Amino acid sequence: MENGIVKPEGVISDFVVLVDDTLTEEFQQTLLGKIIDNEFTADIYQIEKKLDLNQVKKYFLKLEENDEREFGNLFQVKIIQIQSNKASTENEEFYKKVFGNDTEVVDSLSFRQQLRTSLQVYYDLESEKMLDFMLVKELAKTSQMEFPENFLKKWLQSTSESWAKKSGYELEHDFFHFKESLAWRILREKYSQIHEIQISRQELENYVIHSIKQKYGEFKLDEEVWRGYVRKMLEDKRTSYELLCGTGKFKSHRAYEGINDNRF
C-alpha cells in the first residue's frame, strides 16, 4: 500500500499462517473475530516473529531472491479460508487413516500400544543416528588427518553449482563438515580392508528392509512384498552405489557395528 491506497501493480500472493505463538501478539489480536472475506491492513513484518527480509519475501510474498522490486511494510490482507484443528474421534476409520487399511488396531488400548511401539522404533532409530553422528565427529577429530584445503575448496566450487555459490562463513562451515565426512570415509574404507568386510546381496537387502520398516513399520506387509520392493529399488545402480560406496550408508553401518564392538 502507498498513502493508504492499494497499489494497482503491487505484489499479490497468498500464504498460510498458524494461529499459535509463532505469530506476533499484534497480528493475533488483529485476527480475532475475523471471518472469511474480511479485509484489513497489516504490517508484513509484524505477522510472524523473527522473520528477516529474505524470509518475508520468500514465504509471504513468494518473491525470488533476486527479485529487486521495492515494497513497503503495509499490505491489504484478505482472509480466503479458515481451517480449525479439532480432535479426531477414535473409531475404525480413524485407525485406518493413521495406520493403514490392514491395521490390527481396533480400540483405544491397541491404538496406544501401537503408538508406543512406533515411538520406540522412531527413537531407537534417532538415537542410533545420533550415536553415529557423534562417532564420526570424534573419529574425524582424533584421526588428525590433514587435507589440501585450498585445492579441495577450488575443486568443490569448480565442480558443484551449490558449492560455487558458497562464500565466507557458509563456505568455511560447510567445508569443515565436508572434511569430517571425508575423514570418516577414509577411515571406513581402511577399517573395511583391515577386517575384510564383505557385503552380500542378502545382507544389503536385509539392511534396506530393516531401514524401511523402521520408518513405515505400521504397514503390515508380507516379508516377500517388502523384499520384492527392495529388490526393485536396488536395481537402480545409483541407489546401490550410494548405499555401498557414495554416502556408503550400509558400509558405514557395518563399520559402526565393528567399532561399537571394540574391534577397531
SS (H, E, C) the chain: CECCECCCCCCCCCCCCCCCCCECHHHHHHHCCCCCCCEEEEEHHHCECCCCHHHHHHHHCCCCCCCCCCCCCEEEEECCCCCCCCCCCCCHHHHHHHHCCCCCCCCHHHHHHHHHHHHHHHHHHHHHHHHHHHHHHHHHHHHCCCCCHHHHHHHHHHHCHHHHCCCHHHHHHHHHHHHHHHHHHHHHHHHHHHCCCCCCHHHHHHHHHHHHHHHHCCCCCCHHHHHHHHHHHHCCHHHHHHHHCCCCHHHHHHHHHHHHCCCC
Pairwise CA distance, residues 256 & 188, whole Å: 9
Give the side-chain half-sphere CA count within 13 A for 72: 14
Q: How many residues does the chain have?
A: 264
Query: What percentage of the chain has pLDDT greater than the value 70?
Result: 85
| Predicted model pTM | 0.44
Q: What is the mean pLDDT of residues 29-36?
A: 92
**pLDDT score for 78:** 92
* 136 and 180 Cβ atoms separated by less than 8 Å: yes
Cell of 209: 528392509
Pairwise CA distance, residues 142 & 69, whole Å: 50
Q: For residue 202, give every residue at least 6 positions away whose Cβ sits within 8 Å of its Cβ, in sequence order, or none.
A: none
**pLDDT score for 264:** 42
Q: Is the pLDDT of residue 210 over 60?
A: yes
Q: What is the mean pLDDT of residues 175-195?
A: 81
Question: 193, 163, 161, 182: which is closest to 258 by C-alpha?
Answer: 193
Q: Is the pLDDT of residue 132 over 80?
A: no
**pLDDT score for 219:** 59
Pairwise CA distance, residues 175 & 148, whole Å: 12
Pairwise CA distance, residues 52 & 15, whole Å: 16
> pLDDT: is 16 or 203 the higher one?
16
The domain spans of the chain are: 1-85, 87-135, 195-264
* 120 and 113 Cβ atoms separated by less than 8 Å: no
Confidence of residue 17 (pLDDT cuts 50, 70, 90): confident
